Structure 1
Amino acid sequence: MDSKTKKPAGVGLAEVMLLLVAAVWGGSYAVAKQATQQLPVLEFIALRFGLTFVVLLPALKPLFGAQWRQGLAVGGLLGANLLAIFVCETFGVSLTTASNAAFLISLCVALTPFVEWWLLGQRPARRMFWAAGLSALGAAMLSATSPAELSVGWGDGLMVIAAFLRAVMVCMTRRLAGHHAMPALTLTAVQSGVMALGAAVLSLIASPAGGAWHMPPATASFWWGMAYLVLLCTVFAFFAQNHAASRSSPSRVSLLMGSEPVFGALIAAYGFGERIGPWGWAGGLLIVGAAWWVTMPAREGSGRAVAGDTA
């Protein structure tokens, strides 16, 4: 236990994987927004995670061991939380702009230290709170060319709820890590199955009586987008997050994931021709600075303070 507490906060494989996840997720908002214009949200979620589950079927092999009950319980709980996140997030991005969505989901960074304190009883180091505040401020600057452009609507409200649920998800993954021995990819497969089934059931409940499911579009752009969302934004991203969340503190995970809006801005600017002014780029630098700051080794004195706080 002491070795985990004293582990230095340098950049390792887990941190690099999380930055790659932030990069691919940064481009997911525009792709998801385009896809949900061609298919209803719940059917889109069911299709996305149904395909993910099929891709990951071979990873379910460890589930047939002695710990299958624990595996299903943990995967089911985390999968239900993820389904709630993606329902709020996907409906939210369909009702607001991609830049607002990227800003509001990154509020997870500011919320995680408080959720970590609440759920895990571990008070994060003081610099986590400062870095979280800087990251949230940077995301706000990134989403608008001036403060007057920020606005709140139904889509924005759903993204705030999704951000809170993301913070809960990171902490729950950390808390449950000691209650199962499943590989990260197996856990991802179980979560995907729960999400696909849950979204399908919700879609059937929400559809009018006698309503039929829509056929997915046959366009190449839709399926290229779906491949991007399934293989990179889901299979790789969930595996990386599950892998890293059990090896790093929830606050560090969320702060590194908070660089997502920066990557989203780069993809929007160079991939989709969106114009971002100096105000937005300054916000992006704040987010990158906060993510960089939290990966720097803690001073010896601060490390003792944190250990004392969590004892």
Structure 2
Amino acid sequence: MPSRHPLHQRYPGLPDLLLLLVAMVWGSSYGLAKQALQFYPVLGVLALRFGLSFLLLLPTQRALADPAVRRATLGAALPLGLGLLAIFLCETYGIAHTTAANAAFLISLCLVLTPFAEWLLLGQQPTTDALLAAAAALCGAWLLSGATHLQLNSGDLLILLAAVLRAVVTSLTRKLTADRPVATLALTGLQGLLICLGCLLLAGLNGGLPALPRQPAFWGDILFLVLLCTLFAFFAMNYALRHSSATRVALLTGSEPVFGALFAVLWLGETLSASSWLGGLLMVAASLWAVRPGRLQTATA
């Protein structure tokens, strides 16, 4: 007879494991997004990525037949979808106009900002442990990026804005989904639909989009972004934020630049300095510190 206990109670480490996997796939997404942008404009890449995600998740909308689930899911979908639209617009345009090092450093500022966004939106004052882990992870990201002489251009400012929005949306997701009958996969699909429609609207206002590329490399990038960086990552984030704190989630996914660096070395053939490797190790240590037993409180639903 199957257990009646929820997954997060039977496997208490599941949310943390999912978040580390999210960090892995999101770390690789920067290089893949840059490759895709060589074939197609920003709005087109985003519309295609999230439109396909919605179509693949269309069967999950059947969960909305339950009135309580529908109210909770739709109530969360609109603000979170619009927030994610703003994040991805800032990130993708920013990546196109700045270096990978600056982007890795600036997006990691959400580690420091999330405890304060959680305090503002949820009334949960950050613990000393959370602040220390966030500060250590930020120092690690700084070393990893090699951005010792950071000069902000338009792309950098967009990435910085994306980091602020990430902190806010992470905390808002926790606020709108915790202890509510939200259908996680249906919510993921609706978020994708809102991002797709938003990008198509903006593209229409700017003269429309060109014909779709035919290069296999482009479609390989898109499939990876859809299946792993969107479907899996959004589901894992939405699931984890229902059973963990926003600060804990931000710290675990904060190892994203480490996996981005590994992807660049192993797949793109790039090299990293000793200070970059030191920064990566510091970020991993900060993430392990954040999830050590008995320290940071984990909210359960």
Q: What is the TM-score with the length of structure 2 in the denominator?
A: 0.91
The answer (yes or no) to whether the contact 1:26–1:102 under 8 Å persists in 2 is: no
- 1:132 corresponding residue in structure 2: 134
What is the rounded CA distance, in whole Å, between the counterparts of 1:64 and 1:93 in structure 2? 39
The percentage of counterpart residues that share the same residue type is: 48
The answer (yes or no) to whether the contact 1:108–1:167 under 8 Å persists in 2 is: yes
Mapped pair 1:188 → 2:188: yes
What is the rounded CA distance, in whole Å, between the counterparts of 2:224 and 2:189 in structure 1? 17
Gapped regions of structure 2 (runs ≥ 5): 1-7
**Of 254, 257, 269, the match for 2:250:** 254
Residue identity in the other structure for 1:63: L
Query: Mean alpha-carbon deviation: is it higher for 152-161 or for 225-234?
Result: 152-161
1:15-71 Cα shifts (integer Å, max 9, x gaps) = 000000000000000111121222111121111100110111111111132132442
- 1:240 corresponding residue in structure 2: 236
Q: CA deviation at 1:106?
A: 1.5
Change (3 A) 1:285 1:11: farther
The answer (yes or no) to whether the contact 1:110–1:133 under 8 Å persists in 2 is: yes
Residue identity in the other structure for 2:85: L
Q: Give the SS at the match of 1:96.
A: coil
Alignment of 1:108-187 (within 5 A): 108-144=110-146, 147-148=148-149, 150-178=150-178, 180-187=180-187
Q: CA deviation at 1:170?
A: 1.1
Residue identity in the other structure for 1:169: V
The answer (yes or no) to whether the contact 2:81–2:194 under 8 Å persists in 1 is: yes
- 1:4 corresponding residue in structure 2: none
Q: Give the SS at the match of 1:52.
A: helix
Change (3 A) 1:274 1:11: farther
What is the rounded CA distance, in whole Å, between the counterparts of 1:248 and 1:90 in structure 2? 28
Change (3 A) 1:11 1:137: farther
Q: How many residues align?
A: 290
- 2:3 corresponding residue in structure 1: none
The answer (yes or no) to whether the contact 2:112–2:135 under 8 Å persists in 1 is: yes
Q: CA deviation at 1:126?
A: 0.5
Mapped pair 1:278 → 2:274: yes
The answer (yes or no) to whether the contact 2:111–2:250 under 8 Å persists in 1 is: yes
The answer (yes or no) to whether the contact 1:29–1:102 under 8 Å persists in 2 is: no
Residue identity in the other structure for 1:16: L
What is the rounded CA distance, in whole Å, between the counterparts of 1:179 and 1:246 in structure 2? 7
1:193-231 Cα shifts (integer Å, max 9, x gaps) = 1111111111112x1xxx342112100100000000000
Structural RMSD (CA): 2.1
The answer (yes or no) to whether the contact 2:64–2:183 under 8 Å persists in 1 is: no
- 1:107 corresponding residue in structure 2: 109
Residue identity in the other structure for 1:128: A
